[in-house]
Chain A
Amino acid sequence: MNENNPTPPQFPQGQPVPPTQSAPPIPPIPPVTSYAPKPLGENPEERLPITSPIQAIEAILRQPRRVMYQLRQPGAGPLMMYLMVVAIFCAAVYGVVVGTFSMHDQLWIAPVKIAGGLLVSALICLPSLYIFTCLSGSQARLAEIYGLIMGMLMLTTILLIGFAPVAWLFSQSTESVNWMGTLHLIFWFIAALFGLRFLNAAFSHSQAKSNAGFNTWVVIFMLVVVQMTTALRPIVGTSDKFFPTEKKFFLSYWSDCLRLDSERPNTERNDYQRR
């Protein structure tokens, strides 16, 4: 990620360009370096405050160190709010795309469940992340960790928006709930990897002596989110009830779906999954 390269290259637009042979050397696009352990705020541009949700989106994609630095400053509340609002908005937009598979009530149920589920999962996991990072020797405050989790969610959901056109096309093409569910999970997993990478980079600046606690938390968080999809089922298919009446572990639910999918004829396949 381009943490040491805060602004994208500015290129002249609409200017006449001499022939290639006599053209001056093209200024190379600045190389992007990996997360180096340079102190946050060393680059003056990282110290520029983030004053709008749009700036927050731009910063988390191109200047993640700026977000990390700003979250450490006093008065980071508005930034945390931007991160949370954008994350909820993007999750809801992706939820609408998920809902287009079943249409009707799922167009509002899926966004509510996805945005709510992600937020609740993050809040459930917030205390454990704080404890684990403290045990690792980190000096991050609870508010900063909350902001970083919101940053992770925002990056994840922004990437999900990038996947939305692909997801929509498949939603319109296939009739299999299993297939669409798997596809959404793959997209979420890829997006979450980038979000967790942001979180990991932020913790490398928090003077933590070990990554073991953070890695453990990552596993827990992923399991919580996956279980949340089962607890809030159905998200892709349809149901008469908003919440399921039967409690299930996600592996057991997936196994049931796959077994019934292979046993039943096409027309009956999705009845169970839609319940």
Chain B
Amino acid sequence: MHVTSLNPRFVSVFLRAEPDAFSEWVISRQSQLIGFCVLAIVAGAGAYGAVMGSWSCPAQALYAGIKLPLVILLTTVGNGLLNGMLAPLLGLNATFRQSLLVVLMTFAIASMILGALSPIAWFLVWNTPPLTAGTHATSPEYGLLQLTLAVFVAYAGVVGNLRLLPMLAQWTANVGVARRVLFAWLAGNLFLGSQICWVLRPFIWDPCGPPRFIGREFLHGSFFETVFEIVRRLLFQ
């Protein structure tokens, strides 16, 4: 079966995530699989990003449609070395390339789920009161939109990772090792991915002005620092 195109038959086989088929592709069709995964990420995450940005304006939809796949690909590359080292150290004897490919496959599955959820997200965006001069960062409609879109992303990410668990378990013959490796990758990708999202913000709307590809303060502060400050303010002030 041709792996390089997004034909529906292959997509369904890919989403079923049968360990034998996955292992075969990882072993024998690496470059084709990389091409397919990148295509799936660009299409799936791109569609979802565009829906997120469409609440604000078409330009923001275009920017978010480019930025969301970019976040995923930069996270994969940025953590590639670390993930490749953690795999053998935690008990999975895979090469760097295989580790990179498996992480890419989890993101591809997550992106396909996001792509499939895009129409629902679009329906939500369409039903949310439009952006007006009276809308601000603490508006309830904006909060609900943010929350729902974030839940979709979290769901896709978790399912994408869990689908790969049977294959890793088959490789290691030990579910515990597979879980440890998957958890380490998930934690590392979440950590870096959050910060890359923070740098490439805004995705939905820039309350400070007209849409831009990257906000004015893109390298100012970090995601976790901001969360820590908010929690500190809430608890101690």
Q: Do A and B bind each other?
A: yes
Residues of A within 8 A of B (CB): 1-2, 5, 8-9, 11-13, 15, 17, 19-20, 23, 25-26, 28-34, 61-62, 158-159, 161-163, 165-166, 169-170, 172-176, 179, 194
B220 contacts across to A, CB distance below 8 A: 173, 175
Determine the chain B residues whose CB is within 8 A of the CB of A5 once the complex forms.
Answer: 93
Q: Are B93 and A28 in contact (CB under 8 A)?
A: no
B199, A173: Cβ atoms under 8 Å?
yes
Which 7 A-B residue pairings sit nearest by Cβ, starting from the closest? A162-B82, A31-B173, A29-B171, A11-B27, A32-B91, A165-B78, A17-B28
Bits for B93-137, please: 1 = Cβ < 8 Å to A, else 0. Answer: 111000000000000000000000000000000000000000000
B residues less than 8 Å from A17 (CB atoms)? 24, 28-29
Chain A nearest Cβ from B167, distance in angstroms: 10
With A29-B94, A32-B88 given, is the CB distance from A170 to B81 under 8 Å? no
Bound: A30/B95 CA distance, A: 12
Inter-chain contact A166/B78, CB cutoff 8 Å: yes
Is the Cβ of B219 less than 8 Å from the Cβ of A173? yes
Contact B85–A12 (Cβ < 8 Å): no
Q: Can you list 19 A-B pairs, Cβ within 8 angstroms, ordered by A?
A: A1-B90, A8-B95, A9-B95, A12-B27, A15-B28, A23-B20, A26-B27, A29-B92, A31-B174, A31-B177, A32-B88, A33-B91, A61-B85, A162-B81, A166-B82, A169-B196, A173-B198, A174-B225, A194-B89
| Cα–Cα, bound, A2→B87 (Å) | 10
Minimum CB distance partner of A172 in chain B? B219
Chain B residues closer than 8 Å to A19, beta-carbon distance: 1
Please tell me if the beta carbons of A174 and B221 are within 8 angstroms of each other in the complex.
yes
What 0/1 pattern do residues 218 to 232 of B give for CB contact below 8 A with A?
011110110000000
- Determine whether the beta carbon of A32 is less than 8 Å from that of B172: yes
CB atoms of B93 and A20 under 8 A apart? no
Which residues of chain A have C-beta atoms less than 8 A from B5's C-beta? Answer: none
Interchain CA distance A265-B196 in the complex, whole Å: 27
From the candidates B23, B174, B188, B225, name the one contacting A176 in the complex (CB within 8 A): B225
A2 and B27 in contact (CB under 8 A), knowing A29-B172, A31-B174, A173-B195?
Answer: no
* A26/B23 contact (C-beta < 8 A), A8-B95, A169-B196 known: yes
Q: Once bound together, how far apart are the Cα atoms of A62 and B89, in whole Å?
A: 7
A2 touches B85 (CB 8 A): no
Chain A residues closer than 8 Å to B177, beta-carbon distance = 31-32
Which of A26, A30, A163, A175 is B24 in contact with, Cβ under 8 Å? A26
Q: Contact at B93–A61, with CB atoms within 8 Å?
A: no
Q: Is the CB of B225 within 8 A of A169?
A: no
Is B170 in contact with chain A by the CB < 8 A criterion? yes
Asked whether B172 lies within 8 Å of A159 as measured between CB atoms, the reply is: no
CB proximity to A under 8 Å, residues B170-195: 170-174, 177, 188, 191-192, 195
CA distance A61 to B94 in the complex (A): 11
Let me know if B171 and A28 touch, CB within 8 A. Answer: yes
CA distance A209 to B13 in the complex (A): 54
Considering the chains assembled together, what is the distance between the CA atoms of A17 and B95 in angstroms?
Answer: 21
Of all chain B residues, which has the CB nearest A197?
A: B89
